């Protein structure tokens, strides 16, 4: 046990990412036998009362954390956010003539937009391409379609490190948001969203489950010609048990939510904690006399993924190598952008960020 703990690094991976230590410890404690069950969560039927209790608990905790109104419901689906990119247009563009408005702020929203043409019309409401995906749009820059079936955005661009602080106003058009990399990182007003989806492996658990919060009204729009498995309403009718759900992943999401509630004190507290961590890293960039350059525009930089670089690839590589030697791993920027990326999700402790900024300052001094 001690060896395991002392050998743990500060893991800045963008995802799958670091999990809270108490969550890992509870998984370990309960691995051979869930309390009162005598078998592992990996071994029990998804229809058993024990697993149904786990699923219900995870769902309740998501409702409590987000103060979710009754107009919405929680679904657990598989296929990652990649499948959501397809299910959204499939379910909501019931005619080829219908339009989806897409706000393009980086790689992930572009990927989402790329699936739309199969099912209907794509309207690019804004594209940050010209500015190298460094910022999010202002309201008056958006070219919205008044009768769009939905408007999609990615609240946090994991690769470019750009995050929406405020949601655009889309009027009556439902807002559909990929929150894969900033789910549960701050309070959220669920009533403003038609659909929220997040693959769990960044901030909400492990790979294998996608957490959705969907407005119940939207379920009525789902096209009944769809294959059952790809129809949101079928998953809703079956309470996320249309088929065998990813039981272990749902269990871990429940534990992450419990940790957020009981140890971190909820989403308002976690926001403060995340802002403090992000401030430390951005200060280290801003106070480096240009040794480090941040990618995102100051007003829109992400609290979750801090993307920056030094003057050249060689220095970046040296930074990454020496950081890893000092116990800070997976700081390499995404292959499409290069440089350095520090993903500092909910589970990254302040100590991890403090050692990173100390390292950044020492490295700049030696190499500047
Ligand atoms: C990681 C990520 C995804 C990818 O999700 P998959 O589960 O791999 O399909 C999608 N969107 C965003 C914003 C992400 O950060």
Q: For position 79, what pLDDT does the model report?
A: 96
Residue at 14 is within a domain: no
Catalytic, out of 121, 202, 277, 332: 202
Q: Is 202 a catalytic residue?
A: yes
Going 318 to 320 to 322 to 323, the CA torsion angle's sign is positive
Domain-terminating residue out of 262, 286, 308: 262
Element at 89 (helix H, strand E): helix 80-92
Q: For position 238, what pLDDT does the model report?
A: 97
Going 329 to 344 to 362 to 295, the CA torsion angle's sign is positive
Q: How many CB atoms lie within 10 A of CB 228?
A: 13
Q: For position 264, what pLDDT does the model report?
A: 97
Same domain, 320 and 172: no
Same domain, 183 and 277: no
Same domain, 112 and 92: yes
The mean per-residue pLDDT over the stretch 95-110 comes to 97
Tell me the three state secondary structure of residue 73. Answer: strand
Domain-terminating residue out of 237, 262, 287: 262
What distance in angstroms lies between residue 177's CA and the mean position of ligand 1's atoms?
12
Q: For position 6, what pLDDT does the model report?
A: 73
Compute the distance between CA of residue 5 and CA of residue 105 in angstroms, rounded to an integer.
Answer: 38
Mean of pLDDT over the chain? 96
Same domain, 221 and 352: no
pLDDT higher than 60, residue 2: no
Q: For position 225, what pLDDT does the model report?
A: 87
Residue at 238 is within a domain: yes
Q: How many CB atoms lie within 10 A of CB 337?
A: 18
Same domain, 211 and 337: no
Q: Are 125 and 103 in contact (CB under 8 A)?
A: yes
List pLDDT tens digits, range 267-296: 999 999 999 999 999 999 999 999 999 999
List pLDDT tens digits, range 22-47: 999 999 999 999 999 999 999 999 99
Direct distance between the N- and C-terminal alpha carbons of the chain, in angstroms, rounded to an integer = 41
Same domain, 342 and 301: yes
Same domain, 213 and 276: no
The answer to whether the CB of 115 is under 6 A from ligand 1 is no
Question: Pick from 153, 261, 250: which is nearest to 197 by CA?
Answer: 153
Compute the distance between CA of residue 179 and CA of residue 214 in angstroms, rounded to an integer.
Answer: 13
Cis ω for the linkage preceding 328 (within 30 of 0): no
Same domain, 234 and 109: yes
The mean per-residue pLDDT over the stretch 135-146 comes to 98
Residue at 296 is within a domain: yes
Strand partners, 57: none
The CATH number that applies at residue 323 is: 3.90.1150.10
Compute the distance between CA of residue 160 and CA of residue 328 in angstroms, rounded to an integer.
Answer: 21
Q: Is 178 a catalytic residue?
A: yes
pLDDT higher than 70, residue 310: yes
Q: For position 291, what pLDDT does the model report?
A: 98
Helix then strand then coil, % of the chain, to nearest 5: 40, 15, 45
Q: For position 286, what pLDDT does the model report?
A: 98
- Residue whose CA lies nearest to ligand 1 atom number 7: 80
Q: For position 224, what pLDDT does the model report?
A: 77
Name the residue with tokens 């116990």: 327
Same domain, 342 and 216: no
Q: For position 285, what pLDDT does the model report?
A: 98
Enclosing domain of residue 332: 266-367
Compute the distance between CA of residue 185 and CA of residue 206 in angstroms, rounded to an integer.
Answer: 16
44, with CB counted inside 10 A (0-12, 13-18, 19+), is middle
The CATH number that applies at residue 124 is: 3.40.640.10
Residue at 340 is within a domain: yes
Give me the phi and psi of 114, to 5 degrees please.
-65, -15
Catalytic, out of 178, 182, 231, 300: 178
Q: What percent of the chain has pLDDT over 70?
A: 99
Same domain, 329 and 258: no
Q: For position 204, what pLDDT does the model report?
A: 98
List pLDDT tens digits, range 80-97: 999 999 999 999 999 999
Domain-terminating residue out of 240, 262, 284: 262
Same domain, 85 and 218: yes
Going 93 to 95 to 96 to 99, the CA torsion angle's sign is negative
Strand partners, 75: 212
pLDDT higher than 80, residue 343: yes
Supply the pTM of this predicted model.
0.97
What distance in angstroms lies between residue 31's CA and the mean position of ligand 1's atoms?
28
Residue at 214 is within a domain: yes
Same domain, 248 and 308: no
Q: Of all atoms in ligand 1, which is nearest to the CA of residue 159? A: 15
Going 122 to 74 to 188 to 159, the CA torsion angle's sign is negative
Residue at 194 is within a domain: yes
Q: If you write DSSP's letter for every residue of 128-178 in order, what string do you get?
A: GGGGTS-SPPPGGG----TT-SEEEEESEETTTTEE-SSPPP-TTSPEEEE
List pLDDT tens digits, range 47-74: 999 999 999 999 999 999 999 999 999 9
pLDDT classification of 148: cutoffs 50, 70, 90: very high
pLDDT classification of 118: cutoffs 50, 70, 90: very high
Residue at 66 is within a domain: yes
Residue at 15 is within a domain: no
The answer to whether the CB of 81 is under 6 A from ligand 1 is yes
Q: Is 300 a catalytic residue?
A: no
Q: For position 68, what pLDDT does the model report?
A: 98
Compute the distance between CA of residue 333 and CA of residue 327 in angstroms, rounded to an integer.
Answer: 17
pLDDT higher than 70, residue 212: yes
The answer to whether the CB of 16 is under 6 A from ligand 1 is no
165, with CB counted inside 10 A (0-12, 13-18, 19+), is exposed
Q: At what angle do helices 350-367 and 313-325 cross, to 10 degrees?
A: 130
Q: Provide the domain count of the chain.
A: 2
Q: Cα dist. 108→94, 197, 204 in Å?
A: 24, 13, 18
Instruction: Mark residue 290 as left, alpha or beta (left: phi above 0; alpha: psi -120 to 50; beta: remaining).
Output: left
Q: Cα dist. 209→27, 66, 202 in Å?
A: 17, 18, 11
Q: Are 34 and 50 in contact (CB under 8 A)?
A: yes
Q: What percent of the chain has pLDDT over 90?
A: 96
pLDDT higher than 90, residue 4: no
């Amino acid at each position: 046990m001690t060896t395991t703990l002392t050998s743990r690094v500060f893991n800045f991976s963008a995802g799958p990412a670091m999990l809270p230590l108490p969550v890992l410890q509870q998984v370990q404690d309960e691995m051979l036998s869930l309390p009162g069950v005598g078998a592992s969560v990996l071994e029990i039927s998804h229809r058993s009362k024990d697993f149904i209790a786990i699923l219900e608990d995870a769902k309740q905790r998501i409702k409590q954390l987000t103060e979710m109104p009754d107009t919405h419901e929680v679904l657990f689906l598989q296929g990652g956010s990649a499948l959501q990119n397809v299910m959204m247009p499939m379910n909501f563009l019931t005619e080829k003539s219908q339009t989806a408005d897409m706000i393009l702020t980086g790689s992930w929203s572009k990927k989402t937009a790329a699936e739309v043409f199969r099912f209907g019309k794509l309207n690019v409401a804004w594209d940050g391409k010209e500015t190298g995906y460094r910022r999010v749009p202002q309201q008056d820059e958006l070219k919205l379609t008044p009768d769009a079936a939905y408007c999609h955005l990615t609240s946090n661009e994991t690769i470019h490190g750009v995050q929406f602080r405020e949601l655009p106003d889309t009027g009556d058009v439902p807002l559909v948001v990929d929150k894969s990399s900033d789910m549960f990182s701050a309070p959220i007003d669920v009533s403003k969203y038609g659909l929220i989806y997040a693959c769990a492996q960044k901030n909400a658990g492990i790979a294998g489950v996608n957490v959705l919060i969907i407005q119940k009204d939207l379920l009525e729009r789902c096209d009944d010609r769809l294959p059952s498995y790809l129809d949101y309403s079928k998953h809703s009718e079956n309470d996320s048990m249309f088929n065998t759900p990813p039981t272990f992943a749902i269990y871990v999401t429940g534990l992450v939510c419990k940790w957020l509630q009981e140890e971190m004190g909820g989403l308002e507290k976690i926001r403060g904690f995340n802002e403090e961590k992000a401030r430390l890293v951005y200060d280290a960039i801003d106070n480096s006399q240009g040794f480090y350059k941040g990618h995102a525009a100051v007003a829109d930089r992400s609290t979750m993924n801090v993307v920056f670089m030094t003057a050249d690839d060689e220095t970046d590589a040296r930074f990454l190598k020496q950081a890893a030697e000092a116990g800070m791993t997976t700081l390499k920027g995404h292959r499409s952008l290069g440089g350095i990326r520090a993903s500092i999700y909910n589970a990254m402790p302040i100590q991890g960020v403090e050692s990173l900024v100390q390292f950044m300052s020492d490295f700049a001094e030696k190499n500047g």
